[in-house]
Amino acid sequence: MATGTNPAAAGTPQRILDVAERLVQRRGFNGFSYSNVAAELSVTNASLHYHFPTKAELGEALIARYTERFTAELERIEAGVPDAPGRLAAYADLYADVLRGERMCLCGILAAEYQTLPALMCAAVIRFFDQNEVWLERVLIKGREEGSLSFDGEPRSIAQSILSALEGAMLIARPYDDLERFQSDARRLLTGMLA
């Protein structure tokens, strides 16, 4: 999944979001401060507070932008990949692309810090996961109807398992710095559902 924006063309709020997103995906939300972002951008903390008065507002903006981009990628997959197994593989590739960039899924890393996040950020993280589960459920239903996927259980439950498995595989591959480990886990998961 594409991350960030073109720094040369981006205004200050977008540049702030770009830097903060990278920091969150590498360190977690509690692992960075406005000072870290300000230092990278060579601006003052006051400039950051002008655009995002609180860290919680910055966090909400990060999740909203990430969700918007992720949703656009899901729409691109639906428009460009006709079969359910291909859509599932393309979905797993979104996660691999993020991991390849030495990052974690933004909402996945925020889920690890869930108990410490502001309430509005918590709600936005849950919405992100819910949207992913709904999309995966549609793909699974399509695959079962077309006969390309076979699985035991309800599509919604399987969608939850896929999302959990991919997020978990990212988390475990990260300390090993092993993209192939993630890709192998994802292939095994998805191959097991082929009809």
- 60: CATH: 1.10.357.10
Residue 72 clears pLDDT 80, i.e. is over it? yes
Is the pLDDT confidence value at 63 over 80? yes
Q: Tell me if 5 is assigned to some domain.
A: no
- The pLDDT of residue 7 is 44
Q: Is residue 20 part of a domain?
A: no
Residue 130's identity, in one-letter code, is: D
Q: Distances in Å between the alpha carbon of 42 and those of 35, 36, 45, 162?
A: 10, 10, 10, 41
Tokens standing for 90? Answer: 């393309």
Residue 147 lies in a domain: yes
Burial of 28 (0-12, 13-18, 19+ CB in 10 A): middle
Answer whether residue 14 is part of any domain.
no
**What is the separation, in whole angstroms, between the first and last Cα of the chain?**
28
Q: Does the residue 113 lie in any domain?
A: yes
Sign of dihedral through CA atoms 130, 133, 138, 144?
negative
| Mean predicted confidence (pLDDT) in 89-94 | 98
Q: Which of 47, 33, 40, 43 is nearest to 18 (CA)?
A: 40
Number of domains in the chain: 1
Confidence of residue 3 (pLDDT cuts 50, 70, 90): low
- Domain span at residue 109 reads 54-191
The position carrying tokens 């009809």 is 195
- pTM given for the model: 0.91
Please check the confidence at residue 58 and state whether its pLDDT lies above 80.
yes
Domain membership of residue 96 (yes or no) is yes
Judged by average pLDDT, the poorest of 6-15, 89-98, 126-135 is 6-15
Query: How would residue 152 be classed by pLDDT, with cut points 50, 70 and 90?
Result: very high
pLDDT score, position 1 = 61
E strands, the chain, are none
